[in-house]
Structures are given as structure tokens and as C-alpha cells.
Amino acid sequence: MTTLILLRHGRSTSNTAGVLAGRTPGVELDDKGREQAAAVVDRLAPLPIAEIVTSPMLRCRQTVTPLAEARGLAPVVEEDLSEVDYGDWTGGKLSELAKEDLWKVVQAHPSAAVFPGGEGLAGMQARAVAAVRHHERRIAAAHGPHAIWVACSHGDVIKSVLADALASHLDNFQRIVVDTCSMSVVIYTTTRPFVARVNDVGGDVASLVPPPPKEGEEGQGDGTPEPAAEPSSDAVVGGSTGA
């Protein structure tokens, strides 16, 4: 059993410009995003972080840099946690893209959505979930079954991983809200995952500290974990495609 903290990158210049950044090179955090990234260090201070895994996009790498420096960790770059390849939509204004027929598919039937010149959302979910499961197994083997790790990625990618953990069809993933620099928590056990938090933007994380191992414990946590604290109630609604 490991605990995964899914961290969305901080607010970027594209977020404030209303542009679908996608995989556009060089999209950075804005001033607010840098403040959010710095605040992650204190928010996660109570937790023993075994590893940090990140999307290769600059805004994600900038988000985890303060935490990595504070913990003396070298982030592992995972290509399959990268942003959706929006293809021809990359760099487009959201206000204009919302007029496209495909936008309705993205919102109501995302499992069927394939971006022109890019990838489909179903393919994105498959690669992201496979990457998370791979690192979960690797980290459990390297650091033990109670390891806590952070994966920094993007809104749609994180929502797709959460949908998988909730055993919910991808067509429901737009119902999940993932704000910039929010944390969502999934506890992976040998039998099934448990979603402990979604879109937490400031809650106390102390309840996520793993208990000390009991004498003779094998540490494979097949049962339901202890319930985590309730998520913060002051989250701002948002975080759909491109937000």
C-alpha cells in the first residue's frame, strides 16, 4: 500500500490568458503559481515524502522544485504524465474552442474525443494510469508499502487517474474538479485503490502520516485504510479542459 499525492501544477501564464497551453514549450508559472508552489513545502511538511515524480512540462517541474529542494530529492520525470496532446487545438483560445462541435464531445462523451492532430482522452487516461501504477509498484518495492509519494501533472490527466481510482467511467471525469496546485490523494492497496481526498487546496495533511508498523506486520494493507480528514471547503470550482 502506498499513498499517492496527485499535485496539479501551479497557476500558469496560459491559465490566466485563457489559452489551451497543451504541450506548448516554455509555459511558466505566473507569480501566483510560484506562490502556490512555495506553499506546497509547508503544506506537506508533516509527511515523509519518498519520491517526487513529475510531468516533463516546465510548469510542473517549476511546481515541484521548491519541494524537491527542501527534501533533497531529485524529481523523476515521467513522459506519460505529460499534458494531453491537444494537437491542432494547442495554443487556441478557450473561448473560441468552446464553439467547436468537438468541445461538446469533450465535455459530455470524453472517451470518444480525439483531438485533431493530437491524442484521444481515452489514450491519455490509459498512459497516465499505467504510469502511476508502474511508479506505485516501483516505489513500494524501493521504500516499503507505506511510502508516500508525489506526482505532479495536469488537470485532465489527474482527473482521469482519479476517475480510474473511483472505478468511474472516463465519461464522468469532467465532474471532478482539480484546481491549480490542488492535491488529490489516492491510497493504493493490493486489492483496490481508495480516494482519500480530491481538490484539496489547503487542508491539514497530518492524517496521511502512515502509522508505525506493528510487530510482525507484513505491510501489504489489503483492508480499507483509516479515513482521511475532510477536504478543505474553500475550493474554487474549475479545472476542466484547459483551465
Judge whether 6 and 165 are in contact, CB under 8 Å.
no
What pLDDT does 207 receive?
Answer: 80
What pLDDT does 24 receive?
Answer: 96
**One-letter-per-residue 3-state SS of 113-143:** CECCCCCEHHHHHHHHHHHHHHHHHHHHHHH
| Angle at alpha carbon of residue 227, lines to 226 and 228, rounded to 5° | 115
pLDDT band at residue 211 using 50, 70 and 90 as cut-offs:
confident
Going through the chain in order, the beta strands assigned E by DSSP cover: 2-8, 49-54, 76-77, 148-153, 183-188, 193-200
Run of H or E including 60: helix 58-71
Task: Indicate whether 217 pLDDT > 60.
Answer: no
Judge whether 152 and 37 are in contact, CB under 8 Å.
no
What pLDDT does 221 receive?
Answer: 42
More confident residue, 234 or 191: 191
| Strand-strand pairing, 76-77 and 49-54 | parallel
Q: What is the pTM of this model?
A: 0.86
Average pLDDT for residues 107-133, to the nearest whole number?
98
Going by C-alpha positions, the residue among 13, 40, 11, 22 that lies closest to residue 178 is 11
75-96 tens-digit pLDDT: 999 999 999 999 999 999 999 9
Measured between alpha carbons, how far apart are the two ends of the chain, in Å? 32
| Angle at alpha carbon of residue 181, lines to 112 and 225, rounded to 5° | 80
Q: Find how far residue 34's CA is from the centre of its chain.
A: 17
